[in-house]
Amino acid sequence: MYAWVWRRLPGPWPARLAIYLIVVTAIVAGLFFWAFPWVEETFDINRVTVG
């Protein structure tokens, strides 16, 4: 999968590396700002039932 993505990116390898790092950073930021908070609210992960 990673090789497929790498081959599809335009430009020489320094440009590919920059694009790849930007895309990975955007995905991680999206997870931390939107996906993980939604999962925490939806599934109520912080509720501890061990007593």
Tens digits of per-residue pLDDT, 1-45?
A: 788 888 999 999 999 999 999 999 999 999 999 999 998 888 887
Q: Which parts of 1-51 fold into alpha helices (H)?
A: 2-8, 13-30, 36-43
pTM for the model stands at 0.74
Statement: residue 51 has pLDDT above 70:
no
Statement: residue 48 has pLDDT above 90:
no
Nearest-10 Cα torsion for 41, 42, 45, 47: 80
